[in-house]
Amino acid sequence: MRELTIDAVGAQGDGLSRNAEGKGAAFVPLTLPGERVLANMEGARGEVAEILAPSPDRVTPPCRHFGTCGGCALQHWAAEPYLAWKAEQVRLQLSMEGLETEILPTFAAPPASRRRVALHARKGPKGAGALLGFKERRSWSLVPIKECPVTDPRLVAALPALARLAEPFLEHPKSAPTLHVTLTGTGLDIDVTGVERKSGGLSADARMRAAMAASEGDFARVTLAGETVYGARQPLVKLGQAVVALPPGAFLQAVPAAERAMVDFTVAEAQGASRLADLYCGVGTFTFRLAEIGAVHAAEMSAPAIEALKTAMGSTSGLKPIHAEARDLVRRPVLSTELAKTDVVVIDPPRAGAAEQTVEIAKSKVAKVISVSCNPGTFAKDARALVEAGFRLEKVLPVDQFVWSPHIELVGVFTR
C-alpha cells in the first residue's frame, strides 16, 4: 500500500503520480489531479484502496457499473476539466511533432446518444441464458450490463432481446460472440463475430433459433461475419440528403451529434471549392454534404461501402457529380497528379493514419486539407508531413464522441 499524490490524468485516462516517492511514475485508475490516495500497487500500476483527499472536480458517476466496467474511464470527473483535458491531449500530441495551432473548444457529444456498440456474450449460469455486456477493466471477464448512460435508450431497452439473440451463437464451447449493434432508421442492425467456424460454424438449428429471436426482437437484420442470418428490413441511415442502405458491418460514426458536428465543421471549411476529394469516404458520411458544394472524388477501401454510396447517389437529387471508387489508399493512394484540379481534400483515415496518402497530398497543389482523425498521435505525424511540405495547420476541433473515455476525435484544417 502506498500513499500517492495524483499530478495529472494520463493519455489512457488513469491518474498519474509523476515521481511516486522517488520510484518513478505510477498510474492509478479512477483518480483525479490533486488527489491524495492510498493505492495497492503492482509495478507501475495500482488500484485505489482509499481516497484520502478528493478533488473538488470529483462528481458522482451516473452509472452503477462504473469502476468495474471497462467501457468508461472518466465518469467521476466534472465536465469542464474533463473536456479541457481532451483538448490538452491534442495539444500534447501536436507538440511532440513540434506543431502549434489554435485548438478550439472541445465539442461535447451528449450522454445517452451512442448508436453503435459492441456487446460481448458469454454463457450464463445453467438455465439463465446468455450474459451480455462489456469487458471488465484490465480483464477478459464480462460485466453484464443492465444500464448504460452513454448509449441511446432505444438500444439499452433492447438488451434483453439482444441477450436472447446471442444464445444460439454460443452453441460451440469455443465461441465468444461479439454483437456489433447499430441503431439505424429502420431498427437494429447486428453483425455477429467471434463464432467458432473450424468445426463447421453455426448449425442449422442454431441459425433457426437466432432468426426466431431476431424476429421476436423486431430487429432489422442479423448477419454472421457479414453473412445474412435474418433480414426483415434494410438498415437505412440518412447522410445529408441521401438515404444509404448499410452493408453488413459497415463503419458508421458512433454518435449522430458528433457526426453532425464534424460534418458541419468540414463543410463550412470547404465552402467555395468546386472540386473536392473525400478519401476514406466510407458510405458517404462527408461525401453527400460535400457534393452540395462541388464535384467530389470519393475513394474507400471497402467495395460494399462504395456500392452502397453509389446506390444512394442514384436516388438523391440536387447533388454535384460524385465519382466513387473502391481503392486501397495504402497500396494505391490517390496520386498528386490525380489531385491536380482539386481545391480541397477531406481525409478520414483509420487509427493507423494515412502516411502513404499524405505523401501524395503533400506533393500536390491542393490549397486546403481537412483531416478527420480518431487518433491524435497518427494525426500529428501526418500533420508534420503536410507542414514540412508547405501547409499550415490553422486550427483543430477536438470532438468528444466517446463520452467519459480517453478516446478523442478531431478535425484539423490545413492551408497552403
HSE, side-chain direction, 13 A CA sphere, residue 19: 1
Instruction: Indicate the length of the chain as a whole number.
Output: 416
CA dist 164 → 123, 153, 184, 391 (Å): 11, 18, 20, 53
User: In what helix (H) or strand (E) does residue 317 lie, and over which residues does it extend?
Assistant: none
Question: Cell triple for residue 91?
Answer: 495539444
Q: Is 374 a catalytic residue?
A: yes
3-state secondary structure of 263: helix
At 78, the amino acid letter reads A
Query: Distance (Å, rounded) from C-alpha 95 to C-alpha 79?
Result: 25
Query: Distance (Å, rounded) from C-alpha 108 to C-alpha 85?
Result: 12
Give binding residues for S-adenosyl-L-methionine as ranges.
Answer: 253, 280, 300, 348
For 78, residues 6+ apart whose C-beta sits below 8 A from its C-beta are 57, 58, 59
| Crossing angle between the packed helical segments 159-166 and 204-216, to the nearest 10 degrees | 170
Listed residue (397, 395, 396, 414) closest to 109, CA to CA: 397
Residues 26 and 4: beta-carbon distance below 8 Å: yes
Determine the Cα angle at 195 with ends 190 and 199, to 5°: 145
Query: Distance (Å, rounded) from C-alpha 154 to C-alpha 183?
Result: 8
**Alpha helices per DSSP H over 75-172:** 79-96, 153-157, 159-166
HSE, side-chain direction, 13 A CA sphere, residue 66: 21
Give binding residues as ranges.
Answer: 253, 280, 300, 348
Beta strands in 164-302 (DSSP E): 178-184, 187-193, 221-224, 227-231, 236-239, 242-245, 275-279, 295-300
Active site residues: 374
